Structure 1
Amino acid sequence: MVFKNTLLAFAIIGLLVGCGNQSATKTEQNVEQPVASTTDTTASKQQGIIEFEESAFDFGKVKEGAVVEHIFKFKNTGAAPVILSQVSASCGCTTPDFTKEPVLPGKVGEIKVSFNSLGQVGNQQKIVTVSSNAENRVTTIQIKGVVEE
Protein backbone atom coordinates (compact mmCIF):
# COMPACT_ATOMS: atom_id res chain seq x y z
CA MET A 1 0.00 0.00 0.00
CA VAL A 2 2.82 2.41 0.84
CA PHE A 3 4.42 1.51 -2.50
CA LYS A 4 1.21 2.39 -4.38
CA ASN A 5 0.87 5.72 -2.54
CA THR A 6 4.53 6.61 -3.26
CA LEU A 7 4.10 5.67 -6.91
CA LEU A 8 0.90 7.74 -7.13
CA ALA A 9 2.65 10.73 -5.48
CA PHE A 10 5.50 10.58 -8.02
CA ALA A 11 3.03 10.35 -10.90
CA ILE A 12 1.14 13.44 -9.67
CA ILE A 13 4.37 15.40 -9.13
CA GLY A 14 5.59 14.40 -12.61
CA LEU A 15 2.31 15.50 -14.15
CA LEU A 16 2.36 18.86 -12.37
CA VAL A 17 6.00 19.52 -13.24
CA GLY A 18 5.41 18.52 -16.87
CA CYS A 19 2.39 20.80 -17.17
CA GLY A 20 4.31 23.68 -15.61
CA ASN A 21 7.09 23.40 -18.22
CA GLN A 22 4.65 23.37 -21.13
CA SER A 23 2.96 26.45 -19.76
CA ALA A 24 6.29 28.28 -19.39
CA THR A 25 7.32 27.32 -22.91
CA LYS A 26 4.08 28.63 -24.39
CA THR A 27 4.45 31.88 -22.45
CA GLU A 28 8.02 32.38 -23.70
CA GLN A 29 6.95 31.74 -27.29
CA ASN A 30 4.08 34.21 -27.02
CA VAL A 31 6.37 36.90 -25.61
CA GLU A 32 9.16 36.44 -28.18
CA GLN A 33 7.04 36.59 -31.34
CA PRO A 34 5.56 40.09 -30.92
CA VAL A 35 8.97 41.51 -30.00
CA ALA A 36 10.53 40.09 -33.19
CA SER A 37 7.76 41.40 -35.43
CA THR A 38 7.92 44.84 -33.81
CA THR A 39 11.67 44.95 -34.42
CA ASP A 40 11.21 43.90 -38.06
CA THR A 41 8.58 46.59 -38.62
CA THR A 42 10.79 49.25 -37.07
CA ALA A 43 13.79 48.13 -39.13
CA SER A 44 11.88 48.39 -42.41
CA LYS A 45 10.73 51.91 -41.51
CA GLN A 46 14.33 52.90 -40.71
CA GLN A 47 15.86 52.29 -44.15
CA GLY A 48 17.05 54.66 -46.80
CA ILE A 49 15.34 54.78 -50.19
CA ILE A 50 17.07 55.68 -53.45
CA GLU A 51 15.00 57.72 -55.92
CA PHE A 52 16.72 58.70 -59.17
CA GLU A 53 15.77 61.93 -60.96
CA GLU A 54 16.00 59.86 -64.16
CA SER A 55 16.72 56.17 -64.65
CA ALA A 56 17.85 56.44 -68.29
CA PHE A 57 19.87 58.93 -70.33
CA ASP A 58 19.73 59.02 -74.13
CA PHE A 59 22.88 60.63 -75.52
CA GLY A 60 21.47 60.63 -79.07
CA LYS A 61 23.99 60.17 -81.89
CA VAL A 62 27.75 60.46 -81.48
CA LYS A 63 30.76 59.71 -83.68
CA GLU A 64 32.74 56.57 -82.85
CA GLY A 65 35.54 57.37 -80.42
CA ALA A 66 33.62 60.04 -78.51
CA VAL A 67 33.38 59.71 -74.74
CA VAL A 68 29.92 60.46 -73.37
CA GLU A 69 29.49 61.38 -69.72
CA HIS A 70 26.33 61.79 -67.69
CA ILE A 71 25.65 62.33 -63.99
CA PHE A 72 22.68 60.49 -62.51
CA LYS A 73 21.46 62.19 -59.34
CA PHE A 74 19.48 60.38 -56.68
CA LYS A 75 17.83 61.49 -53.47
CA ASN A 76 17.60 59.48 -50.26
CA THR A 77 13.88 59.75 -49.44
CA GLY A 78 14.11 57.24 -46.59
CA ALA A 79 14.80 57.58 -42.87
CA ALA A 80 18.38 56.22 -42.69
CA PRO A 81 21.67 56.93 -44.50
CA VAL A 82 22.21 55.15 -47.84
CA ILE A 83 25.60 53.65 -48.60
CA LEU A 84 26.36 52.55 -52.15
CA SER A 85 28.31 49.30 -51.81
CA GLN A 86 28.85 48.51 -55.49
CA VAL A 87 28.16 50.23 -58.79
CA SER A 88 29.03 48.15 -61.86
CA ALA A 89 28.52 48.48 -65.61
CA SER A 90 27.41 45.83 -68.09
CA CYS A 91 30.38 46.53 -70.37
CA GLY A 92 34.03 47.49 -70.01
CA CYS A 93 33.40 50.52 -72.24
CA THR A 94 31.23 52.03 -69.50
CA THR A 95 32.79 53.31 -66.28
CA PRO A 96 30.80 54.45 -63.24
CA ASP A 97 32.09 56.71 -60.47
CA PHE A 98 29.85 57.31 -57.46
CA THR A 99 29.37 59.02 -54.12
CA LYS A 100 31.42 57.09 -51.55
CA GLU A 101 30.13 58.84 -48.41
CA PRO A 102 26.80 57.87 -46.80
CA VAL A 103 23.92 59.86 -48.30
CA LEU A 104 21.85 61.16 -45.40
CA PRO A 105 18.03 61.27 -45.49
CA GLY A 106 16.87 64.14 -47.71
CA LYS A 107 20.30 64.57 -49.30
CA VAL A 108 21.45 63.89 -52.87
CA GLY A 109 24.13 61.53 -54.20
CA GLU A 110 25.56 61.09 -57.68
CA ILE A 111 26.69 58.40 -60.08
CA LYS A 112 28.81 59.66 -62.98
CA VAL A 113 28.76 57.29 -65.96
CA SER A 114 31.36 57.54 -68.75
CA PHE A 115 30.82 55.66 -72.01
CA ASN A 116 33.73 55.25 -74.45
CA SER A 117 32.22 54.67 -77.90
CA LEU A 118 35.46 53.44 -79.52
CA GLY A 119 34.62 50.15 -81.28
CA GLN A 120 30.94 50.39 -80.29
CA VAL A 121 29.27 51.29 -83.60
CA GLY A 122 25.46 51.00 -83.74
CA ASN A 123 22.66 51.18 -81.18
CA GLN A 124 23.97 51.12 -77.63
CA GLN A 125 22.29 50.44 -74.30
CA LYS A 126 24.55 50.09 -71.29
CA ILE A 127 23.15 49.10 -67.90
CA VAL A 128 24.68 50.19 -64.60
CA THR A 129 23.69 48.16 -61.55
CA VAL A 130 23.61 49.96 -58.21
CA SER A 131 23.82 47.93 -54.98
CA SER A 132 23.28 49.57 -51.58
CA ASN A 133 21.84 49.16 -48.11
CA ALA A 134 18.66 51.00 -49.16
CA GLU A 135 15.19 49.47 -49.08
CA ASN A 136 15.50 49.00 -52.85
CA ARG A 137 18.83 47.16 -52.47
CA VAL A 138 19.54 46.70 -56.18
CA THR A 139 18.44 49.13 -58.85
CA THR A 140 19.60 49.98 -62.36
CA ILE A 141 20.20 53.02 -64.50
CA GLN A 142 21.06 53.07 -68.19
CA ILE A 143 22.79 55.11 -70.82
CA LYS A 144 21.80 54.64 -74.46
CA GLY A 145 22.16 56.12 -77.92
CA VAL A 146 23.62 55.50 -81.38
CA VAL A 147 27.30 55.45 -82.27
CA GLU A 148 28.05 56.33 -85.91
CA GLU A 149 31.19 55.52 -87.89
Structure 2
Amino acid sequence: MTFLGPLSRNAEWYVTLKDDESKLKLINEVIKVNGKLGHFLPAGVSEYRARVHWLPRWIDNNSLWETLQSYKEIDVKQITSDKSTINLNPSINLKHTYIGPRSVIITTDKIDNIPHIIKIKDPIFGEEREALVTVPHRPPLCLRCKGTEHVR
Protein backbone atom coordinates (compact mmCIF):
# COMPACT_ATOMS: atom_id res chain seq x y z
CA MET A 1 0.00 0.00 0.00
CA THR A 2 1.42 3.36 -0.99
CA PHE A 3 -1.36 5.68 0.21
CA LEU A 4 -4.42 5.62 2.49
CA GLY A 5 -6.63 8.67 2.97
CA PRO A 6 -10.26 9.63 3.60
CA LEU A 7 -12.58 10.86 0.84
CA SER A 8 -15.28 13.51 1.23
CA ARG A 9 -17.81 11.02 2.65
CA ASN A 10 -17.01 9.67 6.10
CA ALA A 11 -17.48 6.01 5.12
CA GLU A 12 -15.16 6.06 2.07
CA TRP A 13 -11.39 5.87 1.90
CA TYR A 14 -8.93 6.12 -0.97
CA VAL A 15 -6.28 3.39 -1.14
CA THR A 16 -3.35 3.28 -3.57
CA LEU A 17 -1.60 -0.06 -4.06
CA LYS A 18 1.73 -0.99 -5.62
CA ASP A 19 0.56 -3.79 -7.93
CA ASP A 20 -2.53 -5.29 -9.58
CA GLU A 21 -2.25 -8.53 -7.61
CA SER A 22 -2.82 -6.68 -4.34
CA LYS A 23 -5.74 -4.81 -5.92
CA LEU A 24 -7.47 -8.03 -6.97
CA LYS A 25 -6.92 -9.52 -3.52
CA LEU A 26 -8.49 -6.50 -1.79
CA ILE A 27 -11.48 -6.22 -4.15
CA ASN A 28 -12.54 -9.77 -3.30
CA GLU A 29 -12.24 -9.24 0.48
CA VAL A 30 -14.91 -8.24 2.99
CA ILE A 31 -13.62 -6.37 6.05
CA LYS A 32 -15.16 -5.51 9.39
CA VAL A 33 -14.61 -2.02 10.85
CA ASN A 34 -16.22 -1.05 14.15
CA GLY A 35 -18.68 -3.93 13.81
CA LYS A 36 -19.79 -2.95 10.29
CA LEU A 37 -19.01 -4.89 7.12
CA GLY A 38 -17.20 -3.14 4.30
CA HIS A 39 -15.61 -3.92 0.96
CA PHE A 40 -13.36 -2.35 -1.65
CA LEU A 41 -14.41 -0.92 -5.02
CA PRO A 42 -12.13 0.23 -7.85
CA ALA A 43 -11.78 4.03 -8.18
CA GLY A 44 -14.54 5.56 -10.27
CA VAL A 45 -17.01 2.76 -9.53
CA SER A 46 -20.04 3.40 -7.32
CA GLU A 47 -22.47 1.08 -5.63
CA TYR A 48 -26.22 1.63 -6.04
CA ARG A 49 -29.18 0.03 -4.28
CA ALA A 50 -31.90 -0.51 -6.86
CA ARG A 51 -35.43 -1.90 -6.52
CA VAL A 52 -36.99 -4.08 -9.22
CA HIS A 53 -40.80 -3.82 -9.39
CA TRP A 54 -43.57 -5.71 -11.25
CA LEU A 55 -41.98 -9.17 -11.07
CA PRO A 56 -44.30 -12.09 -10.25
CA ARG A 57 -43.23 -14.32 -7.39
CA TRP A 58 -42.43 -17.31 -9.61
CA ILE A 59 -39.58 -15.47 -11.35
CA ASP A 60 -36.63 -16.36 -9.13
CA ASN A 61 -33.63 -14.23 -8.21
CA ASN A 62 -31.29 -16.30 -10.42
CA SER A 63 -33.30 -15.35 -13.54
CA LEU A 64 -33.21 -11.71 -12.47
CA TRP A 65 -29.44 -11.98 -11.86
CA GLU A 66 -28.82 -13.38 -15.36
CA THR A 67 -30.99 -10.69 -16.97
CA LEU A 68 -29.22 -7.84 -15.17
CA GLN A 69 -25.75 -9.32 -15.81
CA SER A 70 -26.51 -9.24 -19.56
CA TYR A 71 -26.07 -5.45 -19.35
CA LYS A 72 -22.31 -5.14 -19.83
CA GLU A 73 -21.82 -1.86 -17.96
CA ILE A 74 -23.19 -3.08 -14.62
CA ASP A 75 -22.17 -5.73 -12.10
CA VAL A 76 -24.78 -7.25 -9.79
CA LYS A 77 -23.46 -7.90 -6.28
CA GLN A 78 -26.57 -9.08 -4.40
CA ILE A 79 -30.32 -9.66 -4.84
CA THR A 80 -32.78 -10.04 -1.98
CA SER A 81 -36.56 -10.48 -1.93
CA ASP A 82 -38.96 -8.72 0.41
CA LYS A 83 -41.13 -11.69 1.37
CA SER A 84 -43.87 -12.15 3.96
CA THR A 85 -46.27 -15.02 4.60
CA ILE A 86 -49.69 -14.65 6.21
CA ASN A 87 -51.42 -17.68 7.71
CA LEU A 88 -55.04 -17.22 6.54
CA ASN A 89 -56.53 -20.39 8.00
CA PRO A 90 -54.30 -22.53 10.26
CA SER A 91 -56.77 -25.44 10.38
CA ILE A 92 -56.39 -26.16 6.65
CA ASN A 93 -52.88 -24.70 6.30
CA LEU A 94 -54.03 -21.90 3.95
CA LYS A 95 -51.29 -19.30 3.53
CA HIS A 96 -50.72 -16.22 1.41
CA THR A 97 -47.18 -15.26 0.43
CA TYR A 98 -46.39 -11.70 -0.65
CA ILE A 99 -43.15 -10.98 -2.47
CA GLY A 100 -42.57 -7.28 -2.95
CA PRO A 101 -39.96 -5.49 -5.01
CA ARG A 102 -36.55 -7.16 -5.23
CA SER A 103 -33.62 -5.24 -3.74
CA VAL A 104 -30.50 -5.29 -5.90
CA ILE A 105 -27.00 -3.98 -5.18
CA ILE A 106 -25.33 -2.90 -8.44
CA THR A 107 -21.85 -1.50 -9.08
CA THR A 108 -21.18 0.67 -12.12
CA ASP A 109 -19.25 3.79 -13.04
CA LYS A 110 -22.37 5.82 -14.05
CA ILE A 111 -25.92 5.65 -12.71
CA ASP A 112 -27.15 6.06 -16.31
CA ASN A 113 -25.85 2.55 -17.09
CA ILE A 114 -28.64 1.04 -14.99
CA PRO A 115 -31.71 0.48 -17.18
CA HIS A 116 -35.11 1.88 -16.17
CA ILE A 117 -37.02 -1.06 -17.65
CA ILE A 118 -35.73 -4.59 -18.18
CA LYS A 119 -37.29 -7.49 -20.06
CA ILE A 120 -37.18 -10.86 -18.33
CA LYS A 121 -38.37 -14.26 -19.59
CA ASP A 122 -41.36 -15.71 -17.72
CA PRO A 123 -40.64 -19.43 -17.12
CA ILE A 124 -44.32 -20.36 -16.73
CA PHE A 125 -46.01 -18.46 -19.55
CA GLY A 126 -42.99 -18.31 -21.88
CA GLU A 127 -43.36 -14.62 -22.67
CA GLU A 128 -41.17 -11.64 -21.83
CA ARG A 129 -42.25 -9.47 -18.93
CA GLU A 130 -41.22 -5.91 -18.22
CA ALA A 131 -39.89 -4.92 -14.82
CA LEU A 132 -39.31 -1.39 -13.55
CA VAL A 133 -35.91 -0.61 -11.98
CA THR A 134 -35.81 2.34 -9.59
CA VAL A 135 -32.70 3.84 -8.03
CA PRO A 136 -32.71 6.51 -5.29
CA HIS A 137 -31.56 9.98 -6.45
CA ARG A 138 -32.16 9.10 -10.13
CA PRO A 139 -34.96 10.87 -12.02
CA PRO A 140 -37.91 8.47 -12.37
CA LEU A 141 -39.16 7.20 -15.70
CA CYS A 142 -42.38 8.61 -17.15
CA LEU A 143 -44.43 5.53 -17.96
CA ARG A 144 -46.35 7.33 -20.70
CA CYS A 145 -43.56 8.74 -22.91
CA LYS A 146 -40.53 6.88 -21.42
CA GLY A 147 -38.74 10.19 -20.73
CA THR A 148 -36.87 10.90 -17.49
CA GLU A 149 -37.21 14.64 -16.96
CA HIS A 150 -40.78 14.47 -15.68
CA VAL A 151 -43.41 12.15 -14.26
CA ARG A 152 -46.69 11.98 -16.14
TM-score scaled to structure 2, two decimals? 0.32
Q: Which has the higher contact order (CA 8 A, sep 6+)?
A: 1
Q: Which has the larger radius of gyration?
A: 1
Relative to its length, the structure with more helix (as a share) is 1
